[in-house]
Amino acid sequence: MFEPYYPNKWGITPEMDLGQLPMFIAVIKGLKPAMTGVINQDSYTKLKEFCKKFNLSLIISDYKLINPPEELLKELKQKQKLPTTRNICVPLSNPNNGNIYFYISREEKDAINAKKFHWENQIINGRIVSTSFVDHINFGYAMGYPDCCIKKFINTLLMRLNPTERAFIETKGKFSFYTNNLPMDHYYFLTHHHPCSFRCKKTIKKSKELLKAIKEDDEILAKKIEYHLKLPFLVMEEKLSIAFQGKIKNEEIYYKNCYLIGNPTDKLFFNKFKWRNRIRITDEEIKIYKNDFLLEIINKKNKFNGFILKF
Protein backbone atom coordinates (compact mmCIF):
# COMPACT_ATOMS: atom_id res chain seq x y z
CA MET A 1 0.00 0.00 0.00
CA PHE A 2 1.11 3.52 -0.85
CA GLU A 3 4.34 2.26 -2.39
CA PRO A 4 5.95 5.20 -4.26
CA TYR A 5 5.48 5.19 -8.02
CA TYR A 6 7.96 7.02 -10.24
CA PRO A 7 6.45 7.78 -13.68
CA ASN A 8 9.01 8.03 -16.47
CA LYS A 9 7.22 10.97 -18.08
CA TRP A 10 7.84 13.25 -15.12
CA GLY A 11 11.40 12.14 -14.49
CA ILE A 12 10.78 11.50 -10.80
CA THR A 13 13.48 9.57 -8.94
CA PRO A 14 13.51 8.07 -5.42
CA GLU A 15 16.04 10.71 -4.37
CA MET A 16 13.49 13.46 -4.97
CA ASP A 17 10.80 11.81 -2.82
CA LEU A 18 8.02 13.90 -4.34
CA GLY A 19 5.07 12.72 -2.28
CA GLN A 20 3.13 15.66 -3.74
CA LEU A 21 3.43 14.48 -7.35
CA PRO A 22 -0.28 15.11 -8.17
CA MET A 23 0.11 18.75 -7.12
CA PHE A 24 3.17 19.16 -9.35
CA ILE A 25 1.14 17.82 -12.24
CA ALA A 26 -1.74 20.18 -11.39
CA VAL A 27 0.61 23.18 -11.58
CA ILE A 28 2.30 21.94 -14.78
CA LYS A 29 -1.12 21.47 -16.42
CA GLY A 30 -2.34 24.90 -15.34
CA LEU A 31 -5.03 23.44 -13.07
CA LYS A 32 -3.57 25.04 -9.94
CA PRO A 33 -1.86 28.48 -9.65
CA ALA A 34 0.80 27.42 -7.16
CA MET A 35 1.85 24.74 -4.71
CA THR A 36 4.08 24.52 -1.68
CA GLY A 37 5.87 21.78 0.15
CA VAL A 38 8.85 20.89 2.30
CA ILE A 39 12.05 19.29 1.07
CA ASN A 40 15.40 18.54 2.67
CA GLN A 41 18.00 21.09 1.65
CA ASP A 42 20.18 18.32 0.21
CA SER A 43 17.45 17.58 -2.37
CA TYR A 44 17.06 21.18 -3.51
CA THR A 45 19.31 20.79 -6.58
CA LYS A 46 17.20 17.88 -7.89
CA LEU A 47 14.01 19.87 -7.37
CA LYS A 48 15.52 22.86 -9.18
CA GLU A 49 16.37 20.66 -12.17
CA PHE A 50 12.84 19.24 -12.20
CA CYS A 51 11.28 22.73 -12.24
CA LYS A 52 13.62 23.88 -15.00
CA LYS A 53 12.60 20.89 -17.13
CA PHE A 54 8.94 21.95 -17.00
CA ASN A 55 9.52 25.73 -17.07
CA LEU A 56 8.26 26.22 -13.53
CA SER A 57 9.18 29.09 -11.23
CA LEU A 58 10.75 27.97 -7.94
CA ILE A 59 11.45 30.05 -4.86
CA ILE A 60 12.27 28.92 -1.32
CA SER A 61 11.70 30.12 2.23
CA ASP A 62 14.08 32.55 3.90
CA TYR A 63 14.65 30.08 6.73
CA LYS A 64 14.95 26.35 7.28
CA LEU A 65 13.41 23.97 9.77
CA ILE A 66 15.30 21.75 12.19
CA ASN A 67 14.05 19.35 14.85
CA PRO A 68 13.73 20.87 18.33
CA PRO A 69 15.42 19.28 21.36
CA GLU A 70 13.20 16.85 23.29
CA GLU A 71 13.59 18.98 26.42
CA LEU A 72 12.02 21.96 24.63
CA LEU A 73 9.11 19.85 23.38
CA LYS A 74 8.41 18.63 26.92
CA GLU A 75 8.55 22.18 28.24
CA LEU A 76 6.17 23.46 25.55
CA LYS A 77 3.78 20.57 26.07
CA GLN A 78 3.40 21.57 29.73
CA LYS A 79 2.62 25.18 28.76
CA GLN A 80 0.41 24.87 25.71
CA LYS A 81 -0.80 22.57 22.96
CA LEU A 82 1.94 21.50 20.57
CA PRO A 83 1.50 22.32 16.86
CA THR A 84 1.25 19.52 14.32
CA THR A 85 4.39 20.92 12.66
CA ARG A 86 7.10 20.62 15.30
CA ASN A 87 10.11 22.53 14.04
CA ILE A 88 12.43 25.33 15.00
CA CYS A 89 12.99 28.08 12.42
CA VAL A 90 16.66 28.96 11.89
CA PRO A 91 18.52 31.04 9.24
CA LEU A 92 19.52 29.26 6.03
CA SER A 93 23.14 29.84 7.10
CA ASN A 94 22.69 27.58 10.14
CA PRO A 95 25.17 24.66 9.86
CA ASN A 96 22.60 22.01 10.83
CA ASN A 97 20.93 20.11 8.02
CA GLY A 98 17.27 21.03 7.74
CA ASN A 99 14.19 21.29 5.57
CA ILE A 100 13.13 24.25 3.46
CA TYR A 101 9.75 25.30 2.13
CA PHE A 102 9.46 25.61 -1.63
CA TYR A 103 6.89 27.46 -3.73
CA ILE A 104 6.28 26.47 -7.34
CA SER A 105 4.13 27.98 -10.09
CA ARG A 106 4.04 28.55 -13.84
CA GLU A 107 4.00 32.33 -13.33
CA GLU A 108 6.62 33.63 -10.89
CA LYS A 109 4.17 36.10 -9.35
CA ASP A 110 2.01 33.21 -8.13
CA ALA A 111 4.93 31.56 -6.30
CA ILE A 112 5.87 34.91 -4.75
CA ASN A 113 2.28 35.43 -3.64
CA ALA A 114 2.12 31.97 -2.09
CA LYS A 115 5.32 32.57 -0.15
CA LYS A 116 4.07 35.94 1.06
CA PHE A 117 1.11 34.45 2.91
CA HIS A 118 2.44 31.04 3.89
CA TRP A 119 3.88 30.03 7.21
CA GLU A 120 3.19 27.07 9.46
CA ASN A 121 2.97 26.94 13.24
CA GLN A 122 6.60 27.10 14.38
CA ILE A 123 8.66 27.26 17.53
CA ILE A 124 10.42 30.64 17.58
CA ASN A 125 12.49 31.75 20.60
CA GLY A 126 10.95 29.02 22.72
CA ARG A 127 7.34 29.97 21.91
CA ILE A 128 4.76 28.52 19.54
CA VAL A 129 3.78 31.08 16.89
CA SER A 130 0.61 30.36 14.90
CA THR A 131 -0.53 31.50 11.46
CA SER A 132 -2.93 34.46 11.45
CA PHE A 133 -6.43 33.93 10.08
CA VAL A 134 -5.88 36.64 7.44
CA ASP A 135 -2.80 34.82 6.14
CA HIS A 136 -4.72 31.52 6.14
CA ILE A 137 -7.38 33.09 3.93
CA ASN A 138 -4.96 34.76 1.51
CA PHE A 139 -2.82 31.65 1.29
CA GLY A 140 -5.87 29.55 0.47
CA TYR A 141 -6.72 31.79 -2.47
CA ALA A 142 -3.06 31.79 -3.59
CA MET A 143 -3.22 27.98 -3.71
CA GLY A 144 -6.46 27.99 -5.70
CA TYR A 145 -8.55 26.36 -2.98
CA PRO A 146 -12.37 26.69 -3.31
CA ASP A 147 -13.75 29.72 -1.47
CA CYS A 148 -16.33 27.60 0.37
CA CYS A 149 -13.55 25.39 1.77
CA ILE A 150 -11.42 28.39 2.82
CA LYS A 151 -14.32 29.94 4.74
CA LYS A 152 -15.25 26.66 6.42
CA PHE A 153 -11.62 26.02 7.40
CA ILE A 154 -11.35 29.41 9.12
CA ASN A 155 -14.62 28.78 10.94
CA THR A 156 -13.30 25.35 11.97
CA LEU A 157 -10.13 26.91 13.40
CA LEU A 158 -12.19 29.43 15.38
CA MET A 159 -14.22 26.55 16.85
CA ARG A 160 -11.01 24.56 17.53
CA LEU A 161 -12.34 21.51 15.68
CA ASN A 162 -10.61 18.80 13.68
CA PRO A 163 -11.20 19.79 10.00
CA THR A 164 -11.76 16.14 9.02
CA GLU A 165 -14.32 15.71 11.79
CA ARG A 166 -16.06 18.91 10.68
CA ALA A 167 -16.21 17.77 7.03
CA PHE A 168 -17.62 14.41 8.20
CA ILE A 169 -20.38 16.14 10.18
CA GLU A 170 -21.20 18.48 7.28
CA THR A 171 -21.53 15.66 4.73
CA LYS A 172 -25.02 14.46 3.84
CA GLY A 173 -25.18 11.39 1.64
CA LYS A 174 -22.42 9.26 0.11
CA PHE A 175 -18.85 10.55 0.43
CA SER A 176 -16.97 11.28 -2.80
CA PHE A 177 -13.44 9.91 -3.11
CA TYR A 178 -12.61 13.04 -5.11
CA THR A 179 -12.71 14.97 -1.80
CA ASN A 180 -10.51 12.54 0.16
CA ASN A 181 -7.58 14.64 1.36
CA LEU A 182 -6.33 12.20 4.02
CA PRO A 183 -3.44 10.75 1.95
CA MET A 184 -2.07 14.15 0.87
CA ASP A 185 1.73 14.08 0.70
CA HIS A 186 1.56 10.28 0.36
CA TYR A 187 1.67 10.09 -3.47
CA TYR A 188 -1.93 9.11 -4.12
CA PHE A 189 -4.37 12.00 -3.69
CA LEU A 190 -6.09 14.72 -5.73
CA THR A 191 -6.72 17.54 -3.29
CA HIS A 192 -4.35 19.22 -0.85
CA HIS A 193 -6.84 21.22 1.19
CA HIS A 194 -9.49 20.47 3.80
CA PRO A 195 -12.82 20.23 1.96
CA CYS A 196 -15.83 21.93 3.50
CA SER A 197 -17.59 18.57 3.18
CA PHE A 198 -16.86 15.25 1.53
CA ARG A 199 -19.39 16.16 -1.17
CA CYS A 200 -18.03 19.64 -1.92
CA LYS A 201 -18.97 20.30 -5.56
CA LYS A 202 -16.07 22.68 -6.22
CA THR A 203 -13.52 20.24 -4.80
CA ILE A 204 -15.00 17.38 -6.82
CA LYS A 205 -14.82 19.46 -10.01
CA LYS A 206 -11.14 20.35 -9.46
CA SER A 207 -10.21 16.76 -8.58
CA LYS A 208 -12.02 15.32 -11.61
CA GLU A 209 -10.12 17.69 -13.89
CA LEU A 210 -6.81 16.67 -12.33
CA LEU A 211 -7.51 12.93 -12.47
CA LYS A 212 -8.50 13.28 -16.13
CA ALA A 213 -5.25 15.13 -16.91
CA ILE A 214 -3.19 12.50 -15.07
CA LYS A 215 -4.96 9.66 -16.86
CA GLU A 216 -4.17 11.18 -20.26
CA ASP A 217 -0.45 10.95 -19.48
CA ASP A 218 -0.22 7.96 -17.15
CA GLU A 219 -3.13 5.58 -16.73
CA ILE A 220 -1.24 3.51 -14.15
CA LEU A 221 -0.80 6.49 -11.85
CA ALA A 222 -4.46 7.47 -12.26
CA LYS A 223 -5.60 3.95 -11.29
CA LYS A 224 -3.30 3.90 -8.26
CA ILE A 225 -4.68 7.24 -7.07
CA GLU A 226 -8.30 6.15 -7.41
CA TYR A 227 -7.61 2.81 -5.70
CA HIS A 228 -5.98 4.38 -2.64
CA LEU A 229 -8.58 7.13 -2.28
CA LYS A 230 -11.36 4.53 -2.05
CA LEU A 231 -9.77 2.58 0.83
CA PRO A 232 -11.37 2.58 4.31
CA PHE A 233 -9.73 5.01 6.73
CA LEU A 234 -9.70 5.17 10.52
CA VAL A 235 -9.38 8.83 11.54
CA MET A 236 -7.89 9.48 14.99
CA GLU A 237 -6.81 13.12 14.80
CA GLU A 238 -6.23 15.81 12.17
CA LYS A 239 -2.74 14.51 11.40
CA LEU A 240 -3.22 10.85 12.32
CA SER A 241 -5.19 8.28 10.37
CA ILE A 242 -4.75 4.71 9.15
CA ALA A 243 -5.67 3.36 5.72
CA PHE A 244 -6.77 -0.26 5.48
CA GLN A 245 -6.62 -2.70 2.60
CA GLY A 246 -9.91 -4.36 3.35
CA LYS A 247 -13.66 -3.85 3.63
CA ILE A 248 -16.18 -2.42 6.10
CA LYS A 249 -19.00 -4.49 7.53
CA ASN A 250 -21.24 -3.40 10.42
CA GLU A 251 -18.85 -0.82 11.92
CA GLU A 252 -15.98 -3.29 11.58
CA ILE A 253 -13.03 -3.22 9.20
CA TYR A 254 -11.69 -6.56 8.01
CA TYR A 255 -8.23 -6.06 6.55
CA LYS A 256 -5.06 -7.75 5.40
CA ASN A 257 -2.78 -4.72 5.39
CA CYS A 258 -2.71 -1.18 6.79
CA TYR A 259 -0.74 2.03 6.33
CA LEU A 260 0.05 4.89 8.72
CA ILE A 261 -0.72 8.45 7.65
CA GLY A 262 0.89 10.45 10.43
CA ASN A 263 4.17 11.40 12.04
CA PRO A 264 7.06 8.99 12.75
CA THR A 265 6.24 9.42 16.45
CA ASP A 266 2.87 7.72 15.79
CA LYS A 267 4.47 4.39 14.82
CA LEU A 268 4.10 2.94 18.31
CA PHE A 269 0.35 3.54 18.13
CA PHE A 270 0.20 2.20 14.57
CA ASN A 271 1.92 -1.03 15.63
CA LYS A 272 -1.21 -1.95 17.57
CA PHE A 273 -2.94 -2.50 14.21
CA LYS A 274 -0.14 -4.20 12.28
CA TRP A 275 -0.31 -7.98 11.96
CA ARG A 276 -3.94 -7.90 13.04
CA ASN A 277 -6.89 -8.24 10.66
CA ARG A 278 -10.04 -6.80 12.23
CA ILE A 279 -11.12 -3.75 14.20
CA ARG A 280 -14.49 -2.84 15.67
CA ILE A 281 -15.42 0.81 16.32
CA THR A 282 -17.92 2.09 18.89
CA ASP A 283 -18.45 5.56 20.34
CA GLU A 284 -16.37 4.58 23.38
CA GLU A 285 -13.61 2.28 22.13
CA ILE A 286 -11.67 0.59 19.35
CA LYS A 287 -11.31 -3.18 19.61
CA ILE A 288 -8.46 -4.82 17.72
CA TYR A 289 -8.63 -8.51 16.74
CA LYS A 290 -6.62 -11.24 15.12
CA ASN A 291 -9.35 -13.41 13.63
CA ASP A 292 -11.73 -13.96 16.57
CA PHE A 293 -9.19 -13.19 19.29
CA LEU A 294 -9.49 -9.79 20.98
CA LEU A 295 -5.95 -8.50 21.43
CA GLU A 296 -6.36 -4.89 22.52
CA ILE A 297 -8.92 -2.24 23.45
CA ILE A 298 -8.24 1.47 22.89
CA ASN A 299 -10.44 3.82 24.90
CA LYS A 300 -11.54 6.88 22.90
CA LYS A 301 -11.46 10.44 24.25
CA ASN A 302 -14.72 11.13 22.42
CA LYS A 303 -16.80 9.62 19.60
CA PHE A 304 -14.68 11.35 16.93
CA ASN A 305 -11.37 10.18 18.38
CA GLY A 306 -11.40 7.21 16.02
CA PHE A 307 -14.11 7.09 13.35
CA ILE A 308 -14.39 5.34 9.99
CA LEU A 309 -14.34 7.13 6.63
CA LYS A 310 -15.29 5.19 3.50
CA PHE A 311 -15.38 6.83 0.10
The answer to whether the CB of 103 falls within 8 A of the CB of 53 is no
47 C-beta neighbours (distance < 10 Å), count: 22
Low-confidence ranges of the chain (pLDDT < 70): 13-17, 68-87, 119-131
What's the half-sphere exposure (Cβ side, CA atoms, 13 Å) at 10? 25
pLDDT score for 123: 55
pLDDT score for 208: 98
The answer to whether the CB of 57 falls within 8 A of the CB of 107 is yes
What is the rounded distance in angstroms from the CA atom of residue 60 to the CA atom of residue 100? Answer: 7
The answer to whether the CB of 123 falls within 8 A of the CB of 87 is yes
Phi, then psi, of 119 in degrees rounded to 5: -165, 140
DSSP three-state, residue 305? coil
What is the rounded distance in angstroms from the CA atom of residue 279 to the CA atom of residue 94? Answer: 46
Phi, then psi, of 111 in degrees rounded to 5: -70, -40
Phi, then psi, of 261 in degrees rounded to 5: -115, 95
pLDDT score for 262: 87
pLDDT score for 300: 93
pLDDT score for 155: 87
- Non-local CB neighbours of 132 within 8 Å, separated by 6+ positions: none
pLDDT score for 15: 65
pLDDT score for 135: 82
DSSP three-state, residue 22? helix
**Alpha carbon of residue 93 to chain centroid:** 29
- Non-local CB neighbours of 106 within 8 Å, separated by 6+ positions: 27, 28, 30, 33, 55, 56, 57
Q: pTM surpassing 0.75?
A: yes
